[in-house]
Structure 1
Amino acid sequence: MDTIAKNVCGLINEEGGDLLLGISGDGEIVGINEAKAKVDELSNYLNQHVQPNAPISVSSVRYKKHDLIWISVWEGAQKPYSFQGKIYARGQEDTNKANKEDVSGFILQRKASEFHWERQSLLGLEEDDLSIRQVEDSILLFERKNPHLRFSNDTIGFLQYMGLYQNGHFTNAAAILYADNPVRYLPQAKIRLTVYAHEKSSNSFLYDRLYESNLFQNIQDVFSYIDVLFGRSSHISGLKRTDRQKYPIVAVREGIMNALVHRDYTKVSSTVHISIYSNRMVISNTGTLPEGLRIPDLKREHTSILRNPDIARMCFVHDLIEMLGSGTQRMVKDCKAYGLADPIWKEDGDHLVLEFPGLGIGEGVGDGVNEGVSDVVVPSASEGVNDILKRLVTLIHATPGMNAKQLAVAIGKGHSTVERYLKLLRENMLIEFRGAPKDGGYFLLQNK
């Protein structure tokens, strides 16, 4: 264990990384006996002997019928880290005791991290402004990965341990992750999602919304909407029914998470914009690739370089991202599985742009919607309500068969409110409900 701890210590003092135990020196997969039982023992040992408290995650993984132990190590913010009183540095191929120059460099990096945007105090943000339920969810997930650590009923202690509460103040990263209304303090926390009727950006769009909650809530809402927009397909074989998303969910979610985790939050004008056209999806975020990483590197195994390590660490706890630097490769593989072209990355000024060619809402949807929606006016309803009714008709036209719950998620309204709007549309002979109450959905009457 000492050798493992020295290597972990060296990685934390540098840029972080991953260790896989159960692979021989010549690359043969040999596995670890009773790997799951050894995870807790190793995790306890590392957290007790690597000081100060460090961002270390230990888990077991199954690969090619062998059990391996995966140690994921994040770059530390409180350098230098030591093991048994000695400081270690990771070189290109090995780990050694740090020399004076190494230690001086670590101390300078620690001072710099204290001025990093994520770690800056956000004055005015109080505990009551946070979603404590979401913090508690994070604690539960963190404790599952680190069973030797317990933070139940101690949200402040947990946030302090994660570097999100320092010197009596919550940090910018804490607001992005957990504030109920982060845009009150940080306007750049928002996400914009727009569905256009055609192949190009214009004022003719089918859906346009700003998501202004915290990161975890925004992720949930955005993922839910995209799931609803593209829908599912069902395959029945005998008595077994298999549902599958109609879009490469792994690739799209990975692309969105990369944009959110790696974006440049330092600018108030910073943004993530998800644009869905008739023939493609485009995800754009403020912030170019980190130094040392180029566009061609994204299609092969590469080091995961983090612009926002505190935000990334919490997303890792929630299993929303991984640390191996292979996420972009999975995106390419997932797109191919759906018969789509490879994703395209490019830098446009101070933005990184990701495009999924062929992943759109389909040709003709925009024209059909524009022809029908302009006539959606319920005389008894206000102008504001009619605008919402048009949005509902737009969604039902684009994705026939959506139910009330899905429509409520898509437009960001309560379920009972959407039920009332749907009743208005039915009474005015604009839509109809088809199918059983539990699994049926809404269709435009002209779609009969």
Structure 2
Amino acid sequence: MTIDRIYKLLKEKEGIRLEFKVARLALPENLFDSVCSMLNREGGDILLGVTDKGEVVGVDPLHIDKVITDLVNLSNNPQKINPPFIVFPRKYLIGDHWIIHIQLPVSSQVHKTLQTIYDRSNEGDFKINDAQQIAEVFNRKRTHYTENTVYPALYFEHFKPELFPKIRNLIRSNNANHPWLALDDTRLLETAGLWRRDFHSGEEGYTQAAALLLGKDEVIRQILPHYKIDALVRIDDTNRYDDRLYIQTNLIDAYEQLMGFVEKHLPDKFYLQADQRISLRTAIFREVVANIIVHREYTNAHPCTFVIGKDNVETENANNPHGQGIIDPNRFTPFPKNPVIAKFFIELGRVDELGSGVLNVTRLSKQYAGRRKAKFIEGNTFKMVIPVLANASDGIIEGVSEGLNEGVSDGVNKGVTMFKEPPVAYLTGNANIPIVTEVVNRLLDDGVNDGEVDGVTIATRMEIIQIMVIVLDKEGLKTIEISKKLQKSMATVERHIKRAKALNLLKFQGSPKSGGYYVTEYFENRLIKND
């Protein structure tokens, strides 16, 4: 959730997916009526510290942390909301006032608060007492969310025991105070919504979601024999494949296996976000991989495919559509296809929040692959087209060369080069290349003045900068590999590397046979300071 979307919500009127509530010193008494009704209907957003007319009056700064703590604790209390649904509210400063935002997905379960079921309409929250209305709510959930299918013969011993420590470690690394950490394994599964009672059939037990998340491989194959993720590389051999990974295991391990396939075949990019160096590849594809896992319709036999091509990664999986056509990231309404599985992945830290995937991939793809846009296509199958670059360093060299040649400033001493508007070919995708240029030029000038390196021409500066960008893009390269990417002789590259090492820009790590070149911490720190 961004602050821009908060401002957008404040301009809207209350409706079926939006509720404002005043909460100056404590939680409103009827808050969980709205939480329950939104979970039972279409999900939505609740803003605390706002009047019915959208006027921001704020939550008292001295009480806001306690309000948030009470909200989280009560959402995990089955006496307040049953089954529990842990929320993770966020606070925002709007002008001089603090408000609290609660984002709620549609739930695949029917929730009660104080033993009462609530539903939602444009007029607000209303109690459901009539037996026919209650049955309609249960049938609506049962029809749309097959992850809740109960398997009475699925027992705890059918789950992989080694997954439980892994799950707890992931939860702990994401939130050390998470309430699930205090529960035993069976209670954790119940609280996560993986055990339920089907009030329509009277059956009770673990669900399809439980089997998919935690089941042993042979159990999953018996319950859903058609389930698989087919990951392919089609760059050289486009008719068949260059490499293939066939996944038929639980969703926790499937995520890790598919991310490993991504890391094996796709280049990474150096990127500074605030003052942190992040992996663009990981940031983008953690969202893509999580999306195809948590939003798939698993009763459909259509296989999930993940195809790495020369210019794009294309994914396709079975879908229970909530609309048709290309999704506009600025206008779409997030709608989880498997809310229990999605919620579980949020608790593990593998998904940020509902709807964040489309927004994050759209934003970061521009940094990763230039101006080509990611596409998300809703239909009976859900498709994603994510732009990538087959040979990242070649494009970086071209981009640096164009930028340097265009950006030479007349009259600058010693040929210091500066960038103009970054060309499309910048494959690192942002202001990082101009920063590299500025830092390297400054250090070269200092080195010449101090006698650490000989004087260098503009062409030599350009080639040293290209080498630094190549190594930033893929650390651990040998001299011969840098030579091929730079398209310069080994002798020339070795001469440039010698200068870079003298300035503490590059270092060689590992044995002479298996080692390669890496940027130094000194250079990384200089980049961050100049960002």
Do the aligned residues in 2 keep the contact of 1:278 with 1:361 (CA within 8 Å)?
A: yes
Query: Which residue of structure 1 aligns with residue 375 of structure 2?
Result: 344
Query: Which residue of structure 1 aligns with residue 340 of structure 2?
Result: 310
Do the aligned residues in 2 keep the contact of 1:192 with 1:209 (CA within 8 Å)?
A: yes
Amino acid at match of 1:253: R
Query: Which residue of structure 2 aligns with residue 289 of structure 1?
Result: 321
Pair 1:158-2:188 in alignment: yes
Please report how far the alpha carbon of residue 141 of structure 1 lies from its aligned counterpart in structure 2 after TM superposition.
6.4
Cα distance change, pair 442–104 in 1 and its aligned pair in 2 (3 A): farther
Answer with 205-214 or 35-44: which moved more: 35-44
Cα distance in 2 for residues equivalent to 1:253 and 1:96: 36
Superposition TM-score, scaled by structure 1 size: 0.67
Query: Which residue of structure 1 aligns with residue 37 of structure 2?
Result: 10
Cα distance in 2 for residues equivalent to 1:18 and 1:440: 57
Please report how far the alpha carbon of residue 219 of structure 1 lies from its aligned counterpart in structure 2 after TM superposition.
0.9
Please report how far the alpha carbon of residue 314 of structure 1 lies from its aligned counterpart in structure 2 after TM superposition.
0.9
Query: Which residue of structure 1 aligns with residue 48 of structure 2?
Result: 21
Query: Which residue of structure 2 aligns with residue 260 of structure 1?
Result: 293
Pair 1:35-2:64 in alignment: yes
Please report how far the alpha carbon of residue 217 of structure 1 lies from its aligned counterpart in structure 2 after TM superposition.
1.1
Do the aligned residues in 2 keep the contact of 1:285 with 1:351 (CA within 8 Å)?
A: yes
Give secondary structure in 2 for the equivalent of 1:334: helix
Cα distance change, pair 141–193 in 1 and its aligned pair in 2 (3 A): closer
Pair 1:300-2:334 in alignment: no
Query: Which residue of structure 1 aligns with residue 228 of structure 2?
Result: 190
Cα distance change, pair 188–17 in 1 and its aligned pair in 2 (3 A): farther
Do the aligned residues in 2 keep the contact of 1:232 with 1:244 (CA within 8 Å)?
A: no
Amino acid at match of 1:104: Q
Give secondary structure in 1 for the equivalent of 2:89: strand
Write out per-residue CA displacement over residues 81-121 of structure 1, whole angstroms, 9 at most, x where no aligned residue. 234x65433222x42333667x6334323245457532223
Amino acid at match of 2:47: L
Please report how far the alpha carbon of residue 281 of structure 1 lies from its aligned counterpart in structure 2 after TM superposition.
1.0
Give secondary structure in 2 for the equivalent of 1:304: coil
Do the aligned residues in 2 keep the contact of 1:118 with 1:173 (CA within 8 Å)?
A: yes
Cα distance change, pair 233–321 in 1 and its aligned pair in 2 (3 A): closer
Amino acid at match of 2:314: V
Do the aligned residues in 1 keep the contact of 2:107 with 2:340 (CA within 8 Å)?
A: no
Query: Which residue of structure 2 aligns with residue 394 of structure 1?
Result: none
Q: 2:112 aligns with which of 75, 81, 103?
A: 81
Cα distance change, pair 332–439 in 1 and its aligned pair in 2 (3 A): farther
Cα distance change, pair 136–14 in 1 and its aligned pair in 2 (3 A): farther
Write out per-residue CA displacement over residues 252-274 of structure 1, whole angstroms, 9 at most, x where no aligned residue. 3323322222211112x232211
Cα distance in 1 for residues equivalent to 2:70 and 2:262: 41
Cα distance in 1 for residues equivalent to 2:157 and 2:119: 41
Do the aligned residues in 1 keep the contact of 2:195 with 2:207 (CA within 8 Å)?
A: yes
Give secondary structure in 2 for the equivalent of 1:187: coil
Query: Which residue of structure 1 aligns with residue 525 of structure 2?
Result: none
Do the aligned residues in 2 keep the contact of 1:61 with 1:67 (CA within 8 Å)?
A: yes
Amino acid at match of 2:313: M
Please report how far the alpha carbon of residue 227 of structure 1 lies from its aligned counterpart in structure 2 after TM superposition.
2.8
Do the aligned residues in 1 keep the contact of 2:270 with 2:280 (CA within 8 Å)?
A: no
Query: Which residue of structure 2 aligns with residue 245 of structure 1?
Result: 279
Pair 1:224-2:260 in alignment: yes
What is the aligned residue count?
A: 365
Do the aligned residues in 2 keep the contact of 1:191 with 1:211 (CA within 8 Å)?
A: yes
Answer with 273-282 or 169-178: which moved more: 169-178
User: In angstroms, what is the RMSD of aligned CA positions?
Assistant: 4.0
Amino acid at match of 1:256: V
Pair 1:436-2:465 in alignment: no
Amino acid at match of 1:162: A
Cα distance in 2 for residues equivalent to 1:45 and 1:124: 33
Percent identity of the aligned residues?
18
Query: Which residue of structure 1 aligns with residue 411 of structure 2?
Result: none
Cα distance in 1 for residues equivalent to 2:475 and 2:354: 39
Structure 1 alignment gaps of length 5 or more: 366-398, 404-433, 444-448
Amino acid at match of 2:73: N
Please report how far the alpha carbon of residue 155 of structure 1 lies from its aligned counterpart in structure 2 after TM superposition.
1.3
Cα distance change, pair 138–70 in 1 and its aligned pair in 2 (3 A): farther
Cα distance in 1 for residues equivalent to 2:338 and 2:57: 33
Amino acid at match of 1:436: Q
Query: Which residue of structure 1 aligns with residue 239 of structure 2?
Result: 202
Pair 1:127-2:127 in alignment: no
Structure 2 alignment gaps of length 5 or more: 1-27, 197-202, 395-473, 479-506, 517-531
Write out per-residue CA displacement over residues 16-52 of structure 1, whole angstroms, 9 at most, x where no aligned residue. 2332334565465956625333322223345365342
Give secondary structure in 2 for the equivalent of 1:356: strand
Cα distance change, pair 327–209 in 1 and its aligned pair in 2 (3 A): closer
Please report how far the alpha carbon of residue 208 of structure 1 lies from its aligned counterpart in structure 2 after TM superposition.
0.5
Give secondary structure in 2 for the equivalent of 1:97: strand
Cα distance change, pair 81–302 in 1 and its aligned pair in 2 (3 A): farther
Write out per-residue CA displacement over residues 244-294 of structure 1, whole angstroms, 9 at most, x where no aligned residue. 4354x4343323322222211112x2322110111111011112532xx34
Write out per-residue CA displacement over residues 57-81 of structure 1, whole angstroms, 9 at most, x where no aligned residue. 1333456798653434344455362
Greater length-normalized contact order (CA 8 Å, ≥ 6 residues apart)? 1
Cα distance in 1 for residues equivalent to 2:386 and 2:57: 35
Please report how far the alpha carbon of residue 209 of structure 1 lies from its aligned counterpart in structure 2 after TM superposition.
0.8
